[in-house]
């Protein structure tokens, strides 16, 4: 695998990171994962907006724009002979003195790598289970897509290695939050429900795009604080993330759901597929 590391295209096993990088020492780093479809990095602008906002929060002096990132992605596609890919863009604070730093980090490390990913051949259904482990609260005002991933890792260990089931976090107060690697949605009639970001969830890029698509379908979107009983009363359930897209749910508890045959899931997936090779951001949706 050829990766991009601070201006160079090199083999992944040759990449070196200093033990004094504060991304390693103190978890001061952020990442974005997204897909490239036929050479097009879907919703790249939205991912970069979230990344740049997070960098400002962490005090990392860097800002990334489409015109800077696109040549890197094209170079990696060519170097790895790819057309469709999973991409991870990672920014860590960079080297600093040992100890907690209050000054801005002016020399961050940028690593970008990708791996092969085919185009979707059809929706794969999942089952949902509630996790015993509760969702931790964000380290700051909002949850960043940061290196602080222990809560998710412990949840995955609780769930096990299965790919057919997604675990759903509850908050300490018992409200529905999000999946281990996904955001949660359900429908009732012409209303689409999802937990509020005020529950401490990550405001996923695909989450935001799906809410935009819902408007095209004349669905009312409601964000709020909900208990698990809301899922048992729902008509359809699904989860989302930028790699798996819209993932229909076939079962929660003892209740079965339409899964990939659901009216809303099928409509959202159709619109998603129509736009994933052309949109740079959700606000350009026609």
The dihedral sign for the CA sequence 125, 129, 133, 135: positive
Over the stretch 67-119, which tens digit does the pLDDT of each residue have? 999 999 999 999 999 999 999 999 999 999 999 999 999 999 999 999 998 76
Burial profile 24-58: b = 16 or more Cβ within 10 angstroms, e = fewer: bbbbbbbbbbbbbbeebbbbbbbbbebbbebbeeb
Over the stretch 10-52, which tens digit does the pLDDT of each residue have? 999 999 999 999 999 999 999 999 999 999 999 999 999 999 9
- pLDDT given for residue 118 in this prediction: 75
Burial profile 68-92: b = 16 or more Cβ within 10 angstroms, e = fewer: ebeebbeebbebbebebbbbebbbb
- pLDDT given for residue 119 in this prediction: 66
Quote the mean pLDDT of the chain: 96
Beta bridge partner(s), residue 168:
130, 179
126-284 folds as: D-amino Acid Aminotransferase; Chain A, domain 2 (3.20.10)
- pLDDT given for residue 30 in this prediction: 98
Alpha helices by DSSP H, the chain: 22-25, 44-58, 66-79, 150-159, 205-216, 229-232, 263-275
Over the stretch 214-242, which tens digit does the pLDDT of each residue have? 999 999 999 999 999 999 999 999 999 99
Q: What is the CATH number of domain 2-116?
A: 3.30.470.10
Domain-wise residue ranges, the chain: 2-116, 126-284
Over the stretch 256-278, which tens digit does the pLDDT of each residue have? 999 999 999 999 999 999 999 99
Establish how many alpha carbons lie within 13 A of residue 108's alpha carbon, considering only the half-sphere containing its beta carbon: 25
Over the stretch 161-197, which tens digit does the pLDDT of each residue have? 989 999 999 999 999 999 999 999 999 999 999 999 9
- pLDDT given for residue 120 in this prediction: 61
DSSP letter string, 245-261: EEEEEEEETTEE--GGG
- pLDDT given for residue 121 in this prediction: 55
Token readout for 186 is 């359900």
Q: Give percent of the chain with pLDDT exceeding 90.
A: 96
């Amino acid at each position: 695998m050829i990766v991009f590391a601070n201006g160079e295209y090199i083999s992944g096993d040759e990449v070196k990171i200093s033990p004094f990088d504060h991304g390693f020492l103190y978890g001061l780093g952020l990442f974005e994962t997204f897909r490239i479809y036929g050479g097009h990095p879907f919703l790249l602008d939205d991912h970069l907006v979230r990344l740049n906002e997070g960098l400002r929060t962490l005090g990392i002096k860097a800002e990334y724009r489409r015109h800077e990132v696109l040549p890197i992605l094209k170079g990696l596609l060519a170097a790895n002979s790819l057309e469709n890919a999973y991409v991870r863009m990672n920014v860590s604070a960079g080297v600093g003195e040992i100890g907690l730093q209050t000054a801005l980090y002016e020399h961050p490390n940028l690593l970008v790598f990708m791996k092969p990913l085919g185009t979707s051949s059809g929706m794969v259904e999942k089952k949902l289970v509630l996790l015993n482990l509760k969702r931790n609260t964000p380290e700051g005002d909002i949850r960043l897509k940061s290196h602080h991933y222990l809560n998710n890792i412990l949840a995955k260990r609780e769930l096990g290695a299965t790919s057919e089931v997604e675990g759903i976090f509850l908050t300490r107060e018992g409200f529905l939050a999000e999946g281990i690697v996904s955001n949660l949605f359900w429908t009732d009639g012409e209303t689409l429900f999802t937990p509020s970001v005020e529950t401490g969830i990550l405001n996923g890029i695909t989450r935001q795009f799906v809410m935009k698509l819902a408007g095209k379908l004349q669905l009312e979107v409601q964000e709020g604080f909900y208990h698990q009983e809301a899922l048992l009363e729902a008509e359809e359930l699904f989860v989302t993330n930028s790699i798996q897209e819209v993932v229909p749910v076939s079962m929660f508890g003892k209740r079965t759901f339409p899964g990939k045959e659901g009216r809303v899931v099928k409509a959202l997936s159709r619109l998603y597929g129509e736009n994933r090779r052309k949109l740079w951001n959700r606000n350009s949706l026609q």
